[in-house]
Amino acid sequence: MELLSGGDMLVRALQDEGVELIFGYPGGSALHIYDAIFRQKGIKHVLVRHEQGATHAADGYARSTGKAGVVLVTSGPGATNAITGIATAYMDSIPMVVISGQVPSDKIGEDAFQETDMVGCSRPIVKHSFLVKNAEEIPEIVKKAFYIASTGRPGPVVIDVPKDVTNPADRFPYRFPEKVRMRSYTPAGKGHSGQIRKAVALLLSAKRPVIYAGGGVVQGGGAELLTELAQRLNYPVTNTLMGLGAYPGSDKRFLGMLGMHGTFEANTAMHHADVILAVGARFDDRVTNTPNKFCPGAKIIHIDVDPASISKTIVADVPIVGTVQSVLGEMLEMLKSSDEQPDQSAIVDWWRQIDDWRERHGIYTAPRYRTDGALIMPQEVIRAVYDITEGDAFVTSDVGQHQMFAAQYYLFDKPRRWINSGGLGTMGFGLPAALGVKIAHPDKEVVCVTGEGSIQMCIQELSTATQYHLPVKILCLNNQALGMVKQWQEMQYEGRLSNSVYEESLPDFVKLAEAYGHLGVKIDRREELHDKLQEAFAIKDRTVFIDVYVDPSEHVYPMQVMPNGSMRDMWLSKTERT
Amino acid sequence: MRRIISVLMENEPGALSRVVGLFSQRGYNIESLTVAPTEDATLSRLTLVTIGDDHKIEQVTKNLNKLIDVVKLVDLTEGSHIERELLLVKVRASGAQRDEIKRSVDIFRGQIVDVTSNMYTVQVAGTGEKLDAFLQALGEHTIMEVVRSGVSGIARGEKVLSV
């Protein structure tokens, strides 16, 4: 059998696992591993500028491909810098394997240089973690890590590797396990057929049904089946922020996003629904508003791969634990072989009601923002980019107003196109995530929608874009303030803008982009918006930073009334409420 | 409601901290916790006592089951079960007190396991309630030090928790 050092074993095991790409940053404890990377050809390593960027880039890669993202960092600050990105992946159930260097085994616990208890630090935000004790364990730990990260409800897995374990002088026989079996880990597979039959009967009996689909449908590869199911039944569909793209955004049955900044028709339809089919969604507090006022008349069918997500905040009437693919597949089979049909006249009435809501306050039936002013409105920027990219771009986002505008106004027809930090709400996510997406999809248009606040949280990754020639578009909706914070301060704190404005401190983003070797475009006149965007998007071989000065006073609407509001209680503008 | 949850888990470093971490992270409480390896050295048996309504306990057990190290678990309080806790207590015992304490120990079917001229160390096993009652019988003035093991439990009958 071949003899390899721990460092070589780790890299070989990653190759054998099919890893093509690692995002990382070297340092003392990881140097043996980095040397092993240097001496091989199979895996490409992308050097980021900050470990947070590595995790977000791996995350973007994972979300856009469905494969686990891989991160390599050193001990201590390298590891702690990765924490935000690990938590981001954990909250959104993204498959990721993070390998962290650790001080040598005999130094652990001695407050050694760059020592941090990474397994301890990351414990609440990982699906699982391993501390490697000796080199012979490495192949099996790698196999297990990928298996755990990518199956069931996916999530990040940390492998902490003490430096002595990777010592090039110590060699051991290498064998990569074909399969791994763990008696303590059996991810859910098929759903319970009896429950599925009940769910189908309940669905067919519905008079006011809504299908509420979340990120689990995207992650679990269930978008096609969900689309087929909804179209077969002619039932309306709403997606969560994480679920956008799980159902085609441009289809007439799509009600838009639901929740805090969901559309009037989606939130109102949910409130009045008699049957809700929740698929791969977790009734997040940003969706349900006040839980005891949530959808008072609805029977709830809840499909999820994670039993702990079911009946956590909202009790399900028909819980089904299983993968969305198998459960939706079985539901469709039953529907196809059943003679029963939905109550057509009830469904027609329901659609009539929904269309009336759309007509009254829907954001897709008429612009609900100013269209005659001098200032550029953020919504129209997203609409313009949607038109220019023909709705076919990969869009990553940071966190704040721009994120909500992008979620509302860019209609995603395919899964894995909308990449944002929904659960943790991590500012700084967008740019590194876009780089991860671009590496995986070099021929596709990748747009990072950001704001002047978020972009500065990971702006150093502009340098990574230069080094690896990753021509993404950065679309900065610049309102010269922390827009969402400011919106809340204006709505709930009598306009006291505590630390949410930059005064005159913002950098010249055009010059900054140029300093990194990119192209910068500033757009601050409304009449130039379309032409300048067209020009910027025509450039395919360079990273372009498009700094668009938008109306700083604009708020995101609809916005659910809090606290104590129900789904349908919304602000529709600064002055108008449901 | 008080529940006794018995968990069979991998006897791996870090496994216990994951269980304890889960409780603090999700705001569940732990009244007591005991853990030791089983007859199969690769497995540990952990018994914990927690308090919560049915909804909370359902979440506790679901989230415990999600931990990769947890192989199986059972809520012992759902069925007929035996629970035991071990108490070691040092009590002041001199003069006439010595006989009186000895009688209390006999009533509670405990044993005196260490003696000096001024004190006894007493061992009592039983349910938490019984131990509470024994401590109350001793009276707080005589008690010098109390050590309780936390609850261990097992289901009655032929039902077993094993892989």
CB within 8 Å of A281: residues ≥ 6 apart:
A212, A213, A214, A215, A216, A240, A242, A243, A287, A304
User: With contact defined as beta carbons under 8 Å apart, do A145 and A130 qualify?
Assistant: yes
* CATH placement of domain B2-79: 3.30.70.260
Q: What is the ipTM metric for this complex?
A: 0.92
Which among B9, B13, B59 has the least Cβ separation from residue A312?
B59
Which among A183, A307, A308 has the least Cβ separation from residue B71?
A183
Token pair for residue A507? 């950098």
What pLDDT was estimated at residue A1? 82
What pLDDT was estimated at residue A258? 98
Contact A124 B14 (CB under 8 A): no
Do A275 and A348 fall within a single domain?
Answer: yes
What pLDDT was estimated at residue A139? 98
The kind and range of the H/E element at B81 are strand B81-92
What residues make up the domain containing A274? 193-361
Angle CA B120–B122–B123, to nearest 5: 160
* Residue boundaries of the structural domains of chain B: 2-79, 82-152
Chain A closest-CA separation from residue B71 CA (Å) = 4
Which of A173, A203, A232 is a domain's end point? A173
Secondary-structure class of domain B82-152 per CATH? alpha beta
Any domain includes A179: no
CATH of the domain at A110: 3.40.50.970
What pLDDT was estimated at residue B163? 87
Any domain includes A371: no
Angle between helices A193-204 and A324-337 (to 10 degrees): 60
Nearest residue to A523 via CA among A559, A489, A548, A487: A548
- Residue-wise DSSP of A40-66: -SSSEEEE-SSHHHHHHHHHHHHHHHS
User: With contact defined as beta carbons under 8 Å apart, do A184 and B9 qualify?
Assistant: yes
Please check whether the two domains, B2-79 and B82-152, share a CATH topology. yes
Any domain includes A387: yes
pLDDT in tens, chain A (578 residues): 899 999 999 999 999 999 999 999 999 999 999 999 999 999 999 999 999 999 999 999 999 999 999 999 999 999 999 999 999 999 999 999 999 999 999 999 999 999 999 999 999 999 999 999 999 999 999 999 999 999 999 999 999 999 999 999 999 999 999 999 999 999 999 999 999 999 999 999 999 999 999 999 999 999 999 999 999 999 999 999 999 999 999 999 999 999 999 999 999 999 999 999 999 999 999 999 999 999 999 999 999 999 999 999 999 999 999 999 999 999 999 999 999 999 999 999 999 999 999 999 999 999 999 999 999 999 999 999 999 999 999 999 999 999 999 999 999 999 999 999 999 999 999 999 999 999 999 999 999 999 999 999 999 999 999 999 999 999 999 999 999 999 999 999 999 999 999 989 999 999 999 999 999 999 999 999 999 999 999 999 999 999 999 999 999 999 999 999 999 999 999 999 99
B21 vs A: CB within 8 A = yes
A313 vs B: CB within 8 A = no
Do A156 and A290 fall within a single domain?
Answer: no
User: With contact defined as beta carbons under 8 Å apart, do A110 and A102 qualify?
Assistant: no
> For A188, which residue in chain B has the nearest alpha carbon?
B66
Chain A closest-CA separation from residue B156 CA (Å) = 25
Any domain includes A14: yes
Per CB-CB distance under 8 Å, the chain A contacts of B28 are none
Any domain includes A181: no
Neighbours of A445 (CB within 10 A): 19
Any domain includes A550: yes
Residues facing B152 on adjacent strands: B84
CB within 8 Å of B78: residues ≥ 6 apart:
none
CATH of the domain at A288: 3.40.50.1220
